[in-house]
């Protein structure tokens, strides 16, 4: 069964999610990739105020392609999440509730998701043009100089994701491997 979740996420909505749930997200989220993450952490470490409030935000690890005429955004596929692991804990401490990408997360990140009542969603890699159809608007909100890696505010409607790591310690990737090994 597919769950529909309104963004921004709340502690209550995150607690209701279980690893393996298929979810359609509707509402606002942020984009950020490697360069934006590095800058956010550098500014935090320097004691500067961040250009955006991260409380209850969901961050989609994407550097979208340029938009075609009449579209708010170009193809927008997830990037490998593990590259953001060194930057994730400080952002979770600031209140980030959701992360969207592809691939595995470190044990430290999975434990931090439990501690901070947050969730990691997987989006389908290789389906960037299809995912972009679920994005109704896009606006650069920070670090415009980073081009495609600038932080954007997206409005999404029925954006399809899978709960990979929930706030209860569930891990859809591990569960899937275990299930496959039983059947072998």
Owning domain of residue 155: 2-183
Strand-strand pairing, 151-165 and 135-142: antiparallel
- Residues 105, 113: Cα–Cα separation, whole Å: 10
Domain CATH code at residue 163: 3.20.130.10
How many domains does the structure of the chain reveal?
A: 1
Query: Which residues, other chains included, contact 145 with Cβ-Cβ below 8 Å and sequence gap of 6+?
Result: none
Could you read off the pLDDT tens digit of each residue along the chain, which spans 184 residues? 899 999 999 999 999 999 999 999 999 999 999 999 999 999 999 999 999 999 999 999 999 999 989 999 999 999 999 999 999 999 999 999 999 999 999 999 999 999 999 999 999 988 899 999 999 999 999 999 999 999 999 999 999 999 999 999 999 998 777 777 776 6
Region of 127 on the Ramachandran plot (φ > 0 left; ψ -120 to 50 alpha; else beta): alpha
Which among 40, 43, 4 is positioned nearest to 21, based on CA atoms? 4
Q: What is the pLDDT of residue 184?
A: 62
- Prediction pTM value: 0.95
């Amino acid at each position: 069964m597919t769950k529909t979740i309104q963004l921004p996420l709340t502690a209550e909505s995150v607690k209701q999610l279980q690893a393996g749930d298929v979810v359609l997200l509707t509402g606002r989220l942020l984009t950020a990739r490697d360069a934006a993450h590095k800058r956010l952490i550098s500014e935090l470490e320097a004691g500067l105020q961040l250009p955006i409030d991260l409380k209850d935000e969901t961050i989609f690890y994407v550097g979208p392609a340029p938009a075609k005429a009449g579209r708010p955004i170009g193809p927008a596929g997830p990037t490998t999440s593990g590259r953001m692991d060194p930057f994730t804990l400080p952002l979770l401490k600031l209140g980030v509730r959701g992360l969207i990408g592809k691939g595995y997360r470190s044990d430290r990140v999975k434990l931090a998701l439990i501690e901070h009542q947050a969730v990691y969603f997987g989006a389908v890699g290789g389906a960037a043009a299809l995912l972009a159809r679920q994005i109704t608007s896009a606006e650069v909100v920070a670090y415009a100089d980073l081009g495609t890696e600038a932080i954007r505010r997206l409005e999404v409607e029925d954006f399809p994701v899978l709960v990979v790591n929930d706030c209860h310690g569930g891990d859809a990737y591990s569960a899937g491997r275990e299930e496959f090994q039983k059947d072998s």
